[in-house]
Structure 1
Amino acid sequence: MSTKGSILALTDDVMVSASTILGVVRVLQIEGCNGTDPLIITQATSLSQLPLESSSIDVVISISRNIEFPSDHLYKEILKVLRPGGSIVVHHTSPSTPQQTGKATSSIERKLLVAGFIEAQSVQLEPALATLSFGIRAKKPTWTVGSSFSIKKTTESLPKVQIDDDLELIDEDSLLTEEDLKKPQLPPLGDCEVGSTRKACKNCTCGRAEAEEKVEKLGLTVDQLNNPQSACGSCGLGDAFRCSTCPYKGLPPFKLGEKVSLPGNFLAADI
């Protein structure tokens, strides 16, 4: 059972000839198996496990008319009895069209890969084996599940950059001018505040003129802005609480008796 070149043939048929098995071995040129008497198991679909020791077979050949043979469970059993590096050959004898053959081949290759086999590929058959419509061959990996090995990682060293000692480096501070080093002067606070006693400058660009124009449209005096009062007590809460004739309508909320301060985006468009 453990000699080199051992062959196991599986089929779901009641019987299969030994010459068919040996013909497959000869056509595929399986090394070390010529002249070897194969072990043949018929009606293999009824088996829950193969009656063989683990890693005791070099080649397993499956011959069937049924595309569903071998089953997923049987593939796992085949993987168990094969030696590391052993081969499995799956042949189907039912005649089929090229389109059907292509679909069946892809399905079997996927099953082999899922079961743990590698290098699954189609094999060419000779006219002498015309009854075998197509075949797929795969291998059991030489490594075992759970094994580990180190990967040699090659590190490429960075090229050395040589700097000439005579090379003059530029001082970053020399790139700044005197104007760049000057601290920016901010405008004095409240100088352009709307509602102050001073009017907006001619050709005003800070927005004060537009703010004063908007306040004038509201009909408010400087006193109403500096010391706002309310008869109903709701004017300072905002437009949602003001009546339709409220003189402060359109202004932001404020505290009664305190100067109304307009936000910086008072003149910004809503859209």
Structure 2
Amino acid sequence: MKGNILALLENGMIPLHEVLNVVRMVKKEAVEKINPLIITQASSLTSLQMESSLVDFIIIMGRSQDFPGDRLFEEFLRVLKPGGEIFFHLTLDAVKENTTSSLERKLLVAGFADIEMVRMAEVLPKGLQSFGVKGKKPFWKIGSSFSLKKPLKGLPKVEISNDMDLIDEDSLLSEEDLKKPNLPLVGDCEVGSTRKACKNCVCGRAEEEEKVQKLGVTMDQLENPQSACGSCGLGDAFRCNTCPYKGLPPFKLGQKVSTEIPISLSKF
């Protein structure tokens, strides 16, 4: 490994070779041509007085769950180069799950990626446990944006060989299918009394209107017959001389009057 290394020690001092041993164990490579910067008594630090994107690797070593402080996580991300790594090597009386998860959550919130826990193969005094958590600074900057190229989804290519038999679509139709259907004539006799027979009437309305004109009643009177005296529907024997239904067969009030009688009978 080459580059700048920043080591933060919670309390006291530690030999340089111990710091380098931890770096070798994490990076799994030889350490050469490095510029180490070691900060001791770092438990009270709230910021790092150095330029941004200066450090290739940061190692934090301590024995307290409160080290390092929350404010330092953003500083770690700032001073690391894009792609730089950070490693926490903590030795505690008892390593709890919430301790590691809290540390991983702080790294994630600060903007680190590829966060994972590292097993430490160390011989420690009885009652002490050590663990490691590492993360990586992304190559992209926080807040940056870039366009996504959507994959072009083309239509599946259908290969047709000369050996394939194609079906003539006209052969799927029979002679009956090709004949023009005879649509039934639509009559408008039941549409309403306000409609009149058309010029080329074939539904029978024209004949009906002609009979009505000869009888001297309107279509409304035939479609919905009413009677002021109550005797119009009983027949001619009960009708007065001015009754409009004179000559028509008996009927029920409110029901259509049938005109299927000889026109000559309307004179009696």
Normalised by the shorter chain, which TM-score bucket?
A: 0.5 to 0.7
Are residues 1:143 and 2:140 paired? yes
Are residues 1:118 and 2:120 paired? no
Structure 1: which 5+ runs fail to align?
203-271
Greater Rg over alpha carbons, structure: 2
Distance change (3 Å), C-alpha of 1:137 and 1:176: farther
Alignment length, in residue pairs?
197
Q: TM-score, normalised by structure 2?
A: 0.57
Distance change (3 Å), C-alpha of 1:9 and 1:174: farther
Contact 1:93 1:133 in 2 (8 A): yes
Cα distance, 1:56 vs. partner?
1.3
Q: What is the alpha-carbon root mean square deviation over aligned residues?
A: 4.3
Structure-to-structure mapping, 1:41-52, within 5 angstroms: 41-52=39-50
1:66 is matched with 64
SS in 1 for 2:144: coil
Are residues 1:55 and 2:57 paired? no
Contact 1:63 1:91 in 2 (8 A): yes
1:17 is matched with 15
Calculate percent identity across the aligned residue pairs. 41
Cα distance, 1:69 vs. partner?
1.8
SS in 2 for 1:75: helix
Distance change (3 Å), C-alpha of 1:184 and 1:85: farther
CA distance in 2 between counterparts of 1:90 and 1:108 reads 9
Contact 1:72 1:115 in 2 (8 A): no
CA distance in 1 between counterparts of 2:179 and 2:121 reads 85
Cα distance, 1:49 vs. partner?
2.0
2:109 partner letter: V
Question: 1:117-164 deviations in whole A, cap 9, x for unaligned?
Answer: 0010001111346765111100001112343434332211124689x7
Structure-to-structure mapping, 1:63-142, within 5 angstroms: 63-96=61-94, 101-128=96-123, 133-142=130-139
Contact 1:56 1:81 in 2 (8 A): yes
Structure 2: which 5+ runs fail to align?
160-165, 195-219, 221-225, 231-250, 253-268
Cα distance, 1:64 vs. partner?
1.7
CA distance in 2 between counterparts of 1:122 and 1:28 reads 11
1:7 is matched with 5
Q: TM-score, normalised by structure 1?
A: 0.57
2:169 partner letter: L
